[in-house]
Amino acid sequence: MPQALPTVIDIARLAGVSPATVDRALHHRPGVRQATLQRVLKAAAELKYLPQAELYAAMAPPPMRLLFVLPSRSSRFLWMLGEWVKHSHEHWAPFNVNCRVAPVESFDPDALTRLLLRRGKQSDGVAFMALEHPKVREAVAELNDRGIPCVTLVSDLSHSKRSAYVGLDNRAAGRTAAHLIGRFLSPAHGASNSPQRRAKVALIAGSLNYRAHEEREAGFLHLFAEQYPEMRVVGLREGYDDAQLNYRQTQALLKEHPDLAAIYNIGSGAEGIGQAMKEAGRQHEIVFIGHGLTPETRALLIDGSMDAVINQSPLTTILNSIRIFTNLRDHRSVLSGVEATRTDVIFRENLP
């Protein structure tokens, strides 16, 4: 007589569990502990209850649930970052992760804190652009204590329990911007008494609640103090990454300082600055440096309104975040296989 096929009852007897538990385990239903699941699958394998391919699929751990929290009305670069997360699943498939994006109100630490705690507790890892605030720091600490790692993106969070930071060295980015402006404005032979050497330079930030923007400003001012002490920084304004607000800020700067020689846009909303300079007929006179290669900054580079863009790759930023989470999951070194974030300086002549 042919040997009888194994049944759920046979698997339950071999695994030392109930038939109902076997049914839940084989059909990926909740309520089965990982150790019990492994016993059931081992018994099913020994009894040849399922084809090998199906057993391998059943034994695979569920995808890691990763949440990317990004400002909803902030920079175009961050919007592009979110689009990469939503529409590039083929890049994440080898890591066995499930990535989602949660928008949050820009520059609002209370909203960010609430979302981190509400949605973060339903996730296996959270990546977010941090606001420098005690409530945000406490939310990260609570998630960490629950075993949910946090990774900060683009802007870091000081003295926190985050697992890693992914982004530029923002002090170095600010120094790079200062170096570019200094070189653009310096005469060929560097005569210290020339008008260019005493030029006025303005800074427009998104918000200094972002540590990234604060560090870019500090790096910029330090390099100017070291190498271009004759140049005058005429003040820092906050535009909250809003193109219309940046437009009005630039209009005010041009009215107050008709001899303004350069603008460093620390955050986003470059198109507002470009529009104000064009309306004043100054777009080819004022040196303009900013961050993030987007359709808007690309257009400004092409028409000559903008001189250089300091950029980081959105795809590399996301991949590095996912590698960090999977390293933590697999008990590897946190930064194993993680690329250093490269600072790219884009001009019109080297546009990718």
What's the pLDDT tens digit per position in 109-130? 999 999 999 999 999 999 999 9
Strand partners for 128: 69, 152
Q: What is the pLDDT of residue 292?
A: 94
* Res. 195: pLDDT tops 70: no
Sign of the dihedral through C-alpha 272, 278, 281, 284: positive
pLDDT band at 41 (very low <50, low <70, confident <90, very high): confident
Give the gyration radius of the chain's Cα atoms: 27
Q: What is the pLDDT of residue 59?
A: 63
Q: Write down the residue that tokens 């929290």 correspond to.
A: 69
pLDDT mean over 130-156: 97
CA 227 distance to own-chain centroid: 31
pLDDT band at 205 (very low <50, low <70, confident <90, very high): very high
* Res. 234: pLDDT tops 70: yes
Q: Which residues, 6+ apart, have CB-to-CB distance to 336 below 8 Å?
A: 323, 327
* Res. 169: pLDDT tops 50: yes
* Res. 62: pLDDT tops 90: no
Say if residues 128 and 72 touch (Cβ distance below 8 Å).
no
State the amino acid at position 133 in one-letter form.
Answer: H
pLDDT exceeding 90 applies to what percent of the chain?
68
* Token pair listed for 9: 């009852």
pLDDT band at 40 (very low <50, low <70, confident <90, very high): confident
Counting DSSP H helices and E strands in the chain, the numbers are 14, 11
| CA distances (Å), origin 73, targets 104, 106, 265 | 8, 6, 17
Per the prediction, the chain carries an average pLDDT of 90
Q: What is the pLDDT of residue 3?
A: 62
Q: What is the pLDDT of residue 92?
A: 83
CB atoms within 10 A of CB 254: 19
* Res. 190: pLDDT tops 60: no
Burial 37-55 (b: 16+ CB within 10 A, else e): bebbbebbbebebbeeeeb
**Cα pseudo-dihedral 202, 205, 210, 215, rounded to 10:** -20
Q: What is the pLDDT of residue 191?
A: 42
Distance, CA of 328 to CA of 305 (rounded, Å): 44
